[in-house]
Amino acid sequence: MKDLAIISSSVRTGRLSHRVALYFRNYIEENKLAYARILDLKEYNFPLFDERLKFQKDPSPKVIEFAERIRDADGILIVTPEYNGGYPASLKNVVDLLYEEWHGKPLAIATVSDGHFGGSQVITSLLFSLWKMRVRVVTAMFPVPRAMDVFDENGIPKDKGRTDKRASNFLKELFAAM
């Protein structure tokens, strides 16, 4: 079975995007599409890195674990909120931490907001950084507008049938690239 790393990138209190990460983990495992694990940047609580991992003299065990999970994953799903048209510093921090680990990885992006556009403005800046790392970003996107009205705190969608159909279409492209 394929291994999918789901990066839950928000570290804020009351974060809505983590609900979407929980949904995807549950959906993927319930449908036996892959082994899905959430890499929750709030739990990692990384400091601001001053150097790429390969140049760090004594990286922490958590940093090594994160890098190994990215390297070993067959694919990656980033779930990110949109903060003022950009993505959170916590995500930029780990994107820049690694380099070779990202090369050639199939990756999909789910964007989340409490507004009408579902985080779609974050795509441009995030794509540019990922392309520089030579990530294979799939074209399918999964925007989630008004996330607080769509998912509960456990990642259960209010309209499961419609959400599952969207997720299926979105994930087909990612799994085809894995």
Please write the tens of the pLDDT for every residue from 110-136.
999 888 878 888 998 999 999 999 999
Q: How far apart are CA 16 and CA 98, in angstroms?
A: 26
- The per-residue pLDDT for 158 is 97
* Distance spanning both ends of the chain, measured CA to CA: 11
Which of the four pLDDT bands, split at 50, 70 and 90, describes residue 102? very high
- Percentage with pLDDT > 90 across the chain: 87
- The per-residue pLDDT for 157 is 98
Please write the tens of the pLDDT for every residue from 134-162.
999 999 999 999 999 999 999 999 999 99
Domain boundaries, the chain: 3-177
- The per-residue pLDDT for 135 is 97
Residue 167: phi and psi, rounded to 5, are -65, -40
- The per-residue pLDDT for 9 is 97
Predicted confidence (pLDDT) at residue 107 exceeds the cutoff of 90: yes
CATH class of 3-177: alpha beta
Please write the tens of the pLDDT for every residue from 21-79.
999 999 999 999 999 999 999 999 999 988 899 999 999 999 999 999 999 999 999 99
Residues 91-116, mean pLDDT to the nearest whole number? 94
Residues 6+ apart with CB under 8 A from 145: 113, 115, 116, 117, 118, 119
Whether residue 112 contacts residue 14, with contact meaning beta carbons closer than 8 Å, is answered with no
Q: How far apart are CA 13 and CA 152, in angstroms?
A: 15
Measuring CA to CA, how many Å separate 43 from each of 9, 66, 80, 125? 10, 11, 15, 24
Residues 67-95, mean pLDDT to the nearest whole number? 96
